[in-house]
Copies of this chain bind each other. A is one copy, B any other.
Amino acid sequence: MIDFKEILGNVRQNVPLVHNITNYVTVNDCANILLACGGSPIMSDDTDDVVDITSICGGLNINIGTLNKNTIPSMFLAGKRANELGHPVLLDPVGAGASRIRTETAAKLLEEIRFAVIRGNISEIKALAQGSASTKGVDADENDQVNTGNLDGVIAFAKAFSVKTGAVVAITGALDVITDGEQVCLIHNGHPMMSRITGTGCMLSAMTTAFVTANPGKPFEAVCAAVIAMGLSGEIAHKRLTELDGNASYRNYIIDAVYNLTAEQLEDGAKYEMR
């Protein structure tokens, strides 16, 4: 059983300061969801700035969504410094498999940085693990979707990748698969409309970094709680939608729901199973 009260309570009480090297598309939402969950965001991506900034933070979120020649070396510098300091580092390999530079950068980050968490959709994680994939842009390929038919295979794959990398692996989608190489958590929270908002994955990665940072020694439980929190917030926000609302209001409502989220809501609304 996940102790939501403790996990969420630690985020709210510790106010984890999270350093984000992330894309410019969804960065504002990442900052606001970090504030919503109880953390504190700082964004910095210049090679001259990242070592100092990550040193005063508690955790580091690396998202390659709009990587470029200036920010790639910053990811390595910040990642290594965070490793030295024992800060948890999360990798969100946005679009790995969709371009050579994304796949290679993510792979090289995996080689040189010790990640506490790797979070992506199934296509991205496959690209990362196998060096090839049929990623359709930043969304998972339909042929890759996790379902009851291929679930055992996906779990075995995720466990092996977790063992290899030493990271908690979170493959998120309609059904989320989280593993630390031994324990496996399947999560059924969320709503299909979340895929019609840009950045739900990025936001989840940012929030997950806060949860892991605020809960030292419990990365698996913290990742599970963060993924459940995001999915449940998507459900709560969806109930709020009126006929006139669409994905823009939905985005706001999801962040609002995270802001108001309680341990009780998590206990009542969590839909997960441990394997």
Show the binding face of A for B, using Cβ within 8 Å. Answer: 17, 23-29, 31-32, 35-36, 40-49, 52-53, 56-57, 65-70, 95, 98-102, 136-139, 196-199, 240, 243-249, 251-260
Contact = CB atoms under 8 A, between A and B. Distances in A.
27 contacts: A17-B136, A25-B41, A28-B28, A31-B198, A32-B197, A32-B198, A32-B247, A32-B248, A35-B198, A36-B196, A41-B137, A43-B66, A44-B95, A45-B66, A49-B102, A52-B100, A53-B95, A56-B98, A69-B70, A243-B260, A244-B260, A246-B256, A246-B257, A246-B259, A248-B251, A248-B253, A249-B252
Contact of A43 (B25, B244, B245, B259): B25
B248 A52 contact: no
Contacts of A199: 28, 31
B247 A49 contact: no
A42 B98 contact: yes
A101 B46 contact: yes
A170 to B, nearest CB: 22
Contact of A247 (B138, B249, B255): B255
A29 B197 CA distance: 10
A264 to B, nearest CB: 15
A101 B49 contact: yes
Contacts of A70: 68-70
Nearest to A246: B259
Contacts of A247: 32, 35-36, 255-256, 259
Nearest to A18: B137
